Amino acid sequence: MELSRLLYSELNILCIVIFLLLSHKLRRADKSIEQSYLIGLLIGESILFLLDTFWIIIDADPRYPSELNYIVNLLYYTASAICPYICIKFLYLSLGGKLFSRKARVLLCLPAVAIFLLCLASFRTGWAFSVDASNTYHRGPLYIAAFLIPMGFVIANSALALSYALRSKQRYPRKKAFQLSFIMILPLFGEILEVLIPDITIVCAFITISMVSVIFDFQQLQITRDPLTQLSNRRDLMTYLEEVFSDKTRLQRKPVYVLYADIDYFKSINDTYGHLEGDHALCYVADAMRVVCRRHDAFPARIGGDEFVVVFSASNDATAAEFRQSLKDAVRLSAENLPYQLVISAGMTRCTEADRDDIPAMLERADSELYQEKQKRPKRR
């Protein structure tokens, strides 16, 4: 084997080993849909690199049948479209908090199906590629289509992250979206270079760098996320509040409020229906809060037990009170089909410049307001 091909194969194998190790680490973490997408993407990219390595070994070697070269390229080009498809599903969930609809998933699968059919037809037509009698691969007249479809997916990934970053009003998620959009550009740059200069083989290294960066960010997110409700935890809340107060003009542009809430009679739910149902109740409350907070660009967190904190902006105290009531209504409605009621009490305080130097005291102030509200609730008989 030529030295250049040997080095390329070694680079591919190194990338595969890195991806398999990362996949193993992710499997040991808390299970989530985002995590399953990342693992699927790592496995898909590993298969892609493995096929590329296998092609390096057999191409232009007459000892192997040309049919094998055709099959390897068919699988390679199909996988090159499936991997960006998994990536766009991950980005849509990670940034928007939603899954694609069934119709959208079917439509997004069509490019991969188109590449598969194009490459399958190339066995006889040579449209995307051909393999001559000496088992040597050649690009076909429609090769650019097999290249542009995966590249279009990568561009869509970057555009999705960038559009979310531009639309987001909060600095914290906007920063994450910008990072993801720029990470997607690196594999795109590598693919363009490989098309323009066929002797350059760097796209696997660029993809690996991007994936390692995404997974490091994902692991960092897991550290700052509550494992049960998937809301931010206390550590992430404090980081977010520090970022809010680091903006010297934030409080002047629009008042910022902190809401401190807990579930009324939560112990009774645990005692009557069991701790597992108590966990379910926490998730119902978190889901209701997440929906309302997404509409109002607010930041929800679970800081322990049945206690939640929401940071949000409002034009005045009356608007802030309306937001608090919308949270309460959403939580109550989430329990319509449950054998028990879900009601939250919520204390609220307006942030001031003085809170910049003592964030814990500000949270205590909101907690005191919560205590005052709980004193007014009717006693359960």
| CA atoms 348, 353, 359, 364: torsion sign | negative
Q: For residue 295, what are the domain limits?
A: 234-376
Q: Is residue 305 located within the same domain as residue 210?
A: no
- Angle subtended at Cα 178 by Cα 177 and Cα 181, rounded to the nearest 5 degrees: 85
Domain boundary residue, one of 223, 244, 267 = 223
- Choice between 192 and 325, residue whose per-residue pLDDT is larger: 325
Q: Is residue 185 located within the same domain as residue 320?
A: no
Q: Is residue 278 located within the same domain as residue 209?
A: no
CA distance 235 to 101: 33
Q: Is residue 178 located within the same domain as residue 244?
A: no
As a whole number, mean pLDDT of residues 31-48 equals: 87
pLDDT bin (cut points 50, 70, 90) of residue 9 is confident
Domain boundary residue, one of 204, 223, 242 = 223
304, part of any domain:
yes
| CA atoms 29, 31, 37, 43: torsion sign | positive
Phi-psi map region of 55: left, alpha, beta (phi>0 left; psi -120 to 50 alpha) = alpha
CA distance 27 to 21: 10
228, part of any domain:
no
Query: Residues 73-96: pLDDT tens digits?
Result: 999 999 999 998 998 888 888 787
Domain boundary residue, one of 170, 189, 223 = 223
Query: Residues 244-263: pLDDT tens digits?
Result: 888 878 888 899 999 999 99
Q: Is residue 106 located within the same domain as residue 210?
A: yes
8, part of any domain:
yes
Domain containing residue 344: CATH number: 3.30.70.270
What is the percentage of the chain residues whose pLDDT exceeds 90?
A: 52
